A and B are shown apart, each in its own frame.
Chain A
Amino acid sequence: MAKWGMVIDLDKCVGCQACLVACKEENNVPHGSPEEQKSRRDIFWHKMIAVTSGKYPHVRVEVIPMPCMQCDHPPCVTVCPAKATFKREDGIVVQYFRRCIGCKYCMVACPYGARSFNYKVQETKPYHRQDDPPDRKSWEPWPFPTRTQGVVEKCTFCFHRIDQGLKEGKKIGIEVVPACVESCPSQARIFGDLEDPQSPVSRILASRASFRLREDLHTLPKVIYLSRS
């Protein structure tokens, strides 16, 4: 079984945030408003943070694009009382919207702030995709057309693309990648199987210095960053 991971090269990343917009576009993630941003209620599956250090003129800012880290030891899964969030066999941590009771324990447990809560009924937009789940009988988590008010939601590594790609016999990581990887104009992102030593992700990780966010917490993220130098 593959274990999907994403590598983000901070040297190539231009901080343009195309990943953020493409994610909203792909997954019908609702846009926010000034009020929601003030109260931190706007929903992002993918965000970008800026970490500033130093004093003028020796200032340094690192902008870090952050999807869900897809931890191999996901604290959100441990705390969920409803078993609404779980790790799939391929390592993707998904949210089962029908089981979620909206208690937000997972949001507290997540050290990366990767999760958002649906505070309101979301409007349907003409540009929303209206995709049906591939197999309705299976009752698997399915994020489209929109999620419901009162549930927690987060990045899915675009599992709908991966599952469909596998079904069609496509090469995951080359022909099929998550929306943020596809949309990255500087091509700073690589997606693929971390277990396969020949995959592009494994190869680049073997050749460059890399790190994960908050390694001290032993969450073992499967989103791995390549350092700038």
Chain B
Amino acid sequence: MGEKRRMENHLAGKKEKGKTFFDLSRRKFLKLTAMAGLSVGAMGIQQPSKASPSQSSTGFGNKAKGKWIPTSCLNCTARCGIMVKVVNGNAIQIKGNRSSLISEGQICPRGHIGLQVLYDPERILSPLKRTQTKKGKGISPQWQPITWDQALEEITKKLRSLQESQKPHHLLIFSGLNSRSHEDLLFRFAEAFGTPNLVSGEGLELESEKAGIWMADGHFDLCAYDLDQTNYILSFGADLIESSPPVARWLRKWGRLRREKPIRTKIVEIQPRFSLTAAKSDEWIPIKAGTDAALAMAIAHVIIQEGLFDQKFIREWTHGFEAYRQIVLRDYAPEKVSKLTGIPSETIIRVAEEFGRTRPALAISGKGATAWPGGSFTSYAIHCLNALVGSIDAPGGLLYEEPPAYRPFPNLPRDEVAKRGLEQPPLDLHGTENFLAARIVTNQVPKSILEGKPYPIEMAIGFNSNLNMVAPGCKQWEEALQKIPFYVHVAPFISEMAEYADLVLPATTFLEEWGYDHSTPGAGFVEVRLKQPVVKPMGNSKPIGDILFHLVEKLPGGVRSAFKDIGESTAGFVRYRTSSLVPWEEFLKSGVWRGPDYQYGKYARIFQTPSRKFEFVSGNLRVLQMKKGRNTGEEKIAPHYSEVKWAGDEGQYPLLLFPYQPLLTFGNGSQNYPWAQEIFLPMQGVGWVSPAEINPETAKSLKVKDRDEVWIESPFGKIKTYVKVSEGIQPGMVCIPWGQGHTSYGKWQKGIGCNPNEVMGIDFDSISGQSAFFNTRVKVYKA
């Protein structure tokens, strides 16, 4: 059958080109072989090129010429500068943009996969309306295509009614992975409309790490690292070459750290799982999960006791060192911490001495260490190690990156309704008693929706978000989404979240739209990348920016005027905002604008703390607590270790669920990309799966073997997968990769593997509002 079709293709192909001697003879030959019952395929007859011989040219032929267009990738938060080769209107190849220095013009494998994002055969190409009234997991929405006018009319009608009834804050906006330019427009829209509820997924990422940094020096943000000069890296639970932002920079700099500097950087990876990063590091130290803060404090203990710290920096630019010193020396002796962490005290002392004696040295915290209840203090404890060795704003140390100076928006016209809306308490309760220093508490949102507190949500719009897949406790999100009376989903794909939508608007992918982007954290210096369409938008899809510009046109005064004088369209907006940085023509050509080189040692202005110094006892936290009328002792606002609060009883659920993030699903909700799927887990050499990895000892005690089907059950649910027995896992743990277990959209992702978030408990770090990802206990038994 296949052969017949192939023959027809051959013949059809030839008809257009006219008959040449070769063509005729091959045609006859094909017929003959087919008649003789030979396998045509096995004869290896190559389809001739489509150009006739007379047209053949030297080189790759004229079709291959095409051109390279600079633009910006959006497959993860790094937003690397890329070049896309376009031939005959098709994008056929992606490579790094050499003008972008953040990753020195290199990109990760996901950058190349952009082609399969763009040409995903299952993209939505027209607005869709739900005809099925019931919503829920597994219930088909029964989409019906409608026109853009119809869709926008329905949305604006609803938005207008919210404004007329003086309830703009009843609108909830979700923002997934979007370009900075689109994020800026969404902020502008939310503010002008009057809703304090613009919710991103950041509360699921590294908020506790940011809060730890904020406690010490007042920056609620991630730091960049000076990877060109550092000689020692101590990584606490950060998978540096798989899922630490910005990914491509880490991949590039790894080569430099190892072999392109006079001194080879030693890299020590501390985490319970032998990850790819651990395999590529010089040393792997398996630690008992959730005890990273204790280890960081023990390392500080050794450094202080042996006098290895940077005396000058500590004396001149820090505050509260004496109190910190006392806590560290009293409570965190290596022998004591050894029992907590399961790391021999000799190892702790040796690593501490190496870290204290090698300059410059960096301590890095990652999600594995900080996405816990109390994770902010873990981040704080790790951050303090950098201060001890003088790696703050210094060569080879932490860098405090300044955001690019985009041209500011014109003043926002104040609208009474919007003003009152913005004064309402936010749905995610950030900044309240529960989440003192938080900026965004993503996973509180579904709870607030379900409780209808502080007010009910009447309408929601999601832009490229997929929270019921990526947040712990998916079920809570599903219920919340069911409860939202009118939900609009804007994305190129029907994700799990889109299944709950009343309307779906087809957005373009990043290769079809205008935008500007920069990475935080980046590389220290500022760099802005231009995103420009390399191909025409597919079908009826529209960029998010254009959708917003269309929407506001139909809305009353305040909102509409907020979008006046900022360029009138997405492209115009990008031009408007970047006009303060670089001339447009130049930007179009290079795709990259880079600010001045990094300035080290800005101590006089970087510390945003009461003492204007780096603080070992957090004055920032004290101020917040005082405001709320709380007064806790010094020890509670200094870095410290507190015992993990587990979800699930240890007797009933003896194992610890410890998921991990492989590179090929990092930062993007969708996974319908065969190039990524088939090489998903390099350490196991398999794709298309998400096994539960356990130690052979654990397997023995559970009486399960390699490849056995098992249930992973927690107090919150159960998922099914198969066992992969692995020596690289600490006994007593179950490790499952994130990124699979999709129930919607696309044959290359649907029904493949399982999603550990489904069985995860819902918990937070109380300072930052960060979702906890690692404190759920499970049991494993044969399915």
Q: Which of B53, B58, B106, B279 contacts A61 (CB 8 A)?
A: B279
Q: How far is the CA of A57 from the CA of B752 in the complex (A)?
A: 31
Interface residue B51 (Cβ < 8 Å from any Cβ of A): yes
Chain B residues lying within 8 Å of A131, measured Cβ to Cβ, are: 60-61, 63-64
CB of A183 within 8 A of CB of B63, answer: no
Q: Which of A11, A59, A118 contacts B727 (CB 8 A)?
A: A59
Chain A residues lying within 8 Å of B688, measured Cβ to Cβ, are: 33-34, 37
Chain B residues lying within 8 Å of A2, measured Cβ to Cβ, are: none
CB of A135 within 8 A of CB of B675, answer: no
Chain B residues lying within 8 Å of A91, measured Cβ to Cβ, are: none
CB under 8 Å from chain A, chain B span 657-686: 663-664, 674-676, 678-679, 682-686
Interface-lining segment among B198-206, B252-260, B489-497, B625-633: B252-260
Chain B residues lying within 8 Å of A37, measured Cβ to Cβ, are: 678, 686-688
CB of B91 within 8 A of CB of A127, answer: yes
CB of B63 within 8 A of CB of A52, answer: no
Report whether over half of chain A's contact residues are helix, strand or loop; otherwise say mixed.
Answer: loop
CB of B59 within 8 A of CB of A21, answer: no
CB A6 to nearest CB in B, in angstroms, measures: 16
Number of interface residues of A (CB under 8 A): 76
Q: How far is the CA of A205 from the CA of B259 in the complex (A)?
A: 14
CB of B56 within 8 A of CB of A129, answer: no
CB under 8 Å from chain A, chain B span 174-232: none
A-B contact count (CB 8 A): 239
CB of B59 within 8 A of CB of A164, answer: yes
Chain A residues lying within 8 Å of B664, measured Cβ to Cβ, are: 17
For B87, B111, B727, the residue with the greatest tally of chain A CB atoms inside 10 Å of its CB is B727
CB of A16 within 8 A of CB of B45, answer: no
Chain A residues lying within 8 Å of B57, measured Cβ to Cβ, are: 132
CB under 8 Å from chain B, chain A span 1-59: 9, 11-18, 20-22, 24-26, 31-34, 37, 42, 48-50, 52, 54-57, 59
Interface residue A188 (Cβ < 8 Å from any Cβ of B): yes
Q: Which of B56, B61, B64, B95 contacts A182 (CB 8 A)?
A: B95
CB A185 to nearest CB in B, in angstroms, measures: 4
Q: How far is the CA of A13 from the CA of B47 in the complex (A)?
A: 38
Q: Which of B44, B91, B113, B675 contacts A150 (CB 8 A)?
A: B44
CB A36 to nearest CB in B, in angstroms, measures: 8
Interface residue B584 (Cβ < 8 Å from any Cβ of A): no
CB of B44 within 8 A of CB of A186, answer: no
Interface residue A158 (Cβ < 8 Å from any Cβ of B): no
Interface residue B151 (Cβ < 8 Å from any Cβ of A): no
Binary contact readout B363-391 vs A (1 if CB under 8 angstroms, 0 otherwise): 00000000000000000000000000000
CB B699 to nearest CB in A, in angstroms, measures: 12
CB of A25 within 8 A of CB of B93, answer: yes
Q: How far is the CA of A98 from the CA of B48 in the complex (A)?
A: 10
Given contacts A102-B42, A127-B115, A185 and B106 within 8 Å (CB-CB): yes
Binary contact readout B105-119 vs A (1 if CB under 8 angstroms, 0 otherwise): 011110111011011
Name the residue on A nearest B728 (C-beta): A59
CB B345 to nearest CB in A, in angstroms, measures: 16
CB of B49 within 8 A of CB of A132, answer: yes
Q: Which of B43, B44, B675 contacts A24 (CB 8 A)?
A: B675
For B44, B111, B260, B752, the residue with the greatest tally of chain A CB atoms inside 10 Å of its CB is B44
8 contacts between A and B (CB under 8 A): A15-B241, A15-B682, A18-B112, A18-B251, A21-B675, A136-B53, A144-B49, A149-B3
What 9 A-B pairs come out closest when comparing CB atoms? Answer: A150-B41, A132-B61, A186-B255, A31-B674, A185-B251, A185-B106, A149-B41, A12-B255, A102-B42
A residues with a Cβ closer than 8 A to B are: 9, 11-18, 20-22, 24-26, 31-34, 37, 42, 48-50, 52, 54-57, 59-63, 84, 97-102, 118, 120-121, 125-137, 142, 144-151, 160, 164, 167, 182-188
B residues with a Cβ closer than 8 A to A are: 2-3, 5-6, 39-51, 53, 56-61, 63-64, 87-88, 90-96, 103, 106-109, 111-113, 115-116, 118-119, 241, 248, 250-252, 254-255, 258-260, 274, 276, 279-280, 284, 286, 663-664, 674-676, 678-679, 682-688, 695-697, 727-731, 748, 752
